[in-house]
Amino acid sequence: MAETRYSTSHEWCRLEDGIATCGLTQHAVDELGDLTFLDYRVEPGASVSKGDVIGEIDSVKATSEIYAPVGGTVEAVNERFQNEDELAALSAAPESDGWLVKIKASDPAEFSALLDAEAYRQHCAQG
Protein backbone atom coordinates (compact mmCIF):
# COMPACT_ATOMS: atom_id res chain seq x y z
CA MET A 1 0.00 0.00 0.00
CA ALA A 2 1.22 3.49 -0.81
CA GLU A 3 2.50 5.78 1.92
CA THR A 4 -0.04 8.19 3.39
CA ARG A 5 1.06 11.80 3.97
CA TYR A 6 -0.85 14.59 5.70
CA SER A 7 -1.40 18.33 5.38
CA THR A 8 -1.49 20.68 8.35
CA SER A 9 -5.06 21.53 7.28
CA HIS A 10 -6.08 17.89 7.97
CA GLU A 11 -6.21 16.27 4.54
CA TRP A 12 -4.57 12.91 3.84
CA CYS A 13 -2.98 11.97 0.53
CA ARG A 14 -1.59 8.82 -1.12
CA LEU A 15 0.43 9.01 -4.33
CA GLU A 16 0.39 6.02 -6.69
CA ASP A 17 1.51 6.16 -10.33
CA GLY A 18 1.35 9.96 -10.29
CA ILE A 19 -2.25 10.07 -9.00
CA ALA A 20 -2.84 11.57 -5.55
CA THR A 21 -5.89 10.16 -3.79
CA CYS A 22 -6.97 12.64 -1.11
CA GLY A 23 -9.53 13.04 1.64
CA LEU A 24 -10.17 14.28 5.16
CA THR A 25 -8.23 12.81 8.06
CA GLN A 26 -9.82 10.86 10.89
CA HIS A 27 -8.81 13.72 13.20
CA ALA A 28 -10.72 16.25 11.05
CA VAL A 29 -13.83 14.10 10.90
CA ASP A 30 -13.73 13.50 14.66
CA GLU A 31 -13.41 17.24 15.30
CA LEU A 32 -16.28 18.09 12.94
CA GLY A 33 -18.74 15.62 14.43
CA ASP A 34 -21.82 14.50 12.47
CA LEU A 35 -21.35 15.46 8.82
CA THR A 36 -24.38 16.98 7.08
CA PHE A 37 -23.31 18.19 3.61
CA LEU A 38 -20.38 18.08 1.19
CA ASP A 39 -19.97 20.62 -1.60
CA TYR A 40 -17.18 20.13 -4.14
CA ARG A 41 -15.67 23.30 -5.60
CA VAL A 42 -13.87 21.42 -8.38
CA GLU A 43 -14.76 18.92 -11.06
CA PRO A 44 -12.73 16.52 -13.19
CA GLY A 45 -10.42 18.36 -15.56
CA ALA A 46 -9.97 21.36 -13.26
CA SER A 47 -6.45 22.55 -12.50
CA VAL A 48 -5.67 23.10 -8.83
CA SER A 49 -2.67 24.40 -6.94
CA LYS A 50 -1.55 23.09 -3.59
CA GLY A 51 -3.68 24.83 -0.95
CA ASP A 52 -6.61 25.67 -3.24
CA VAL A 53 -10.09 25.16 -1.78
CA ILE A 54 -11.51 22.05 -3.43
CA GLY A 55 -14.63 21.69 -1.31
CA GLU A 56 -16.53 22.54 1.79
CA ILE A 57 -17.95 20.19 4.39
CA ASP A 58 -20.72 21.01 6.83
CA SER A 59 -21.33 19.34 10.16
CA VAL A 60 -23.54 19.95 13.15
CA LYS A 61 -20.60 21.85 14.70
CA ALA A 62 -19.04 23.84 11.86
CA THR A 63 -18.41 24.40 8.17
CA SER A 64 -14.87 23.66 7.07
CA GLU A 65 -13.03 24.15 3.79
CA ILE A 66 -11.18 21.26 2.19
CA TYR A 67 -7.83 22.07 0.57
CA ALA A 68 -5.82 20.41 -2.19
CA PRO A 69 -2.76 18.82 -0.53
CA VAL A 70 -1.00 18.78 -3.93
CA GLY A 71 -1.41 20.64 -7.19
CA GLY A 72 -2.32 19.18 -10.55
CA THR A 73 -5.37 18.19 -12.57
CA VAL A 74 -8.48 16.79 -10.87
CA GLU A 75 -9.03 13.30 -12.27
CA ALA A 76 -12.11 12.36 -10.22
CA VAL A 77 -14.37 13.45 -7.38
CA ASN A 78 -16.11 10.88 -5.20
CA GLU A 79 -19.74 11.64 -5.97
CA ARG A 80 -20.89 9.03 -3.47
CA PHE A 81 -20.69 11.64 -0.72
CA GLN A 82 -22.95 14.11 -2.55
CA ASN A 83 -25.72 11.91 -1.12
CA GLU A 84 -26.20 13.04 2.48
CA ASP A 85 -27.12 9.48 3.49
CA GLU A 86 -23.58 8.38 2.55
CA LEU A 87 -21.80 10.91 4.80
CA ALA A 88 -21.93 8.44 7.70
CA ALA A 89 -19.72 6.14 5.62
CA LEU A 90 -17.26 9.02 5.17
CA SER A 91 -17.21 9.47 8.95
CA ALA A 92 -16.70 5.76 9.54
CA ALA A 93 -13.68 5.32 7.24
CA PRO A 94 -12.37 8.72 6.09
CA GLU A 95 -8.84 7.51 5.36
CA SER A 96 -9.80 4.49 3.25
CA ASP A 97 -13.26 4.41 1.68
CA GLY A 98 -13.61 8.15 2.29
CA TRP A 99 -11.43 9.48 -0.52
CA LEU A 100 -12.81 12.73 -1.90
CA VAL A 101 -10.69 13.63 -4.93
CA LYS A 102 -8.03 12.16 -7.17
CA ILE A 103 -5.48 14.60 -8.56
CA LYS A 104 -2.89 13.91 -11.26
CA ALA A 105 0.01 15.48 -9.37
CA SER A 106 2.04 18.03 -11.29
CA ASP A 107 4.94 18.08 -8.80
CA PRO A 108 5.67 14.92 -6.75
CA ALA A 109 7.87 17.06 -4.45
CA GLU A 110 4.68 18.60 -3.04
CA PHE A 111 3.65 15.14 -1.84
CA SER A 112 7.06 14.57 -0.28
CA ALA A 113 6.75 17.87 1.58
CA LEU A 114 3.57 16.73 3.37
CA LEU A 115 3.79 15.42 6.94
CA ASP A 116 4.44 11.76 7.63
CA ALA A 117 2.18 9.95 10.11
CA GLU A 118 4.31 10.74 13.18
CA ALA A 119 4.71 14.42 12.29
CA TYR A 120 0.95 14.65 11.72
CA ARG A 121 0.23 13.04 15.12
CA GLN A 122 2.51 15.62 16.73
CA HIS A 123 0.78 18.44 14.79
CA CYS A 124 -2.63 17.28 16.05
CA ALA A 125 -1.38 16.96 19.65
CA GLN A 126 -0.19 20.58 19.56
CA GLY A 127 -3.45 21.96 18.21
Summarize pLDDT for 29-41 with one digit per residue, the tens: 999 999 999 999 9
The verdict on residue 118 lying in a domain is: no
Is the pLDDT assigned to residue 1 strictly greater than 70?
no
pLDDT 10s digits, 56-86: 999 998 999 999 999 999 999 999 998 888 9
Q: Is residue 113 part of a domain?
A: no
Q: Decide: residue 8, CB within 10 A, 0-12 exposed, 13-18 middle, 19+ buried.
A: middle
In a domain, 126, yes or no: no
Where residue 38 sits, what CATH number does that domain have?
Answer: 2.40.50.100
Q: Which range of residues forms the domain containing residue 64?
A: 4-107
The phi and psi torsions of 30 (rounded to 5 degrees) equal -65, -40
Confidence (pLDDT) at 82:
87
pLDDT tens for each residue of 4-29: 999 999 999 999 999 999 999 999 99
Whether 96 shows a pLDDT value over 90: the answer reads: no
Q: Who's near 56: CB < 8 A, 6+ residues apart?
A: 38, 39, 41, 63, 64, 65, 66
- 98 belongs to a structural domain: yes
Q: Is residue 123 part of a domain?
A: no
Give the burial class of 28: count Cβ atoms within 10 A of its Cβ; 0-12 exposed, 13-18 middle, 19 or more buried. Answer: buried
- The model's pTM is 0.95
- Per cent of the chain over pLDDT 70 is 99
For residues 114-126, give the mean pLDDT.
96
Residue at 74 is within a domain: yes
Q: How many domains does the chain have?
A: 1
Q: What is the largest CA-CA distance in the chain?
A: 37
Judge whether 114 lies within some domain. Answer: no
What is the average pLDDT score of the chain?
A: 95
Q: Is residue 13 situated within a structural domain?
A: yes
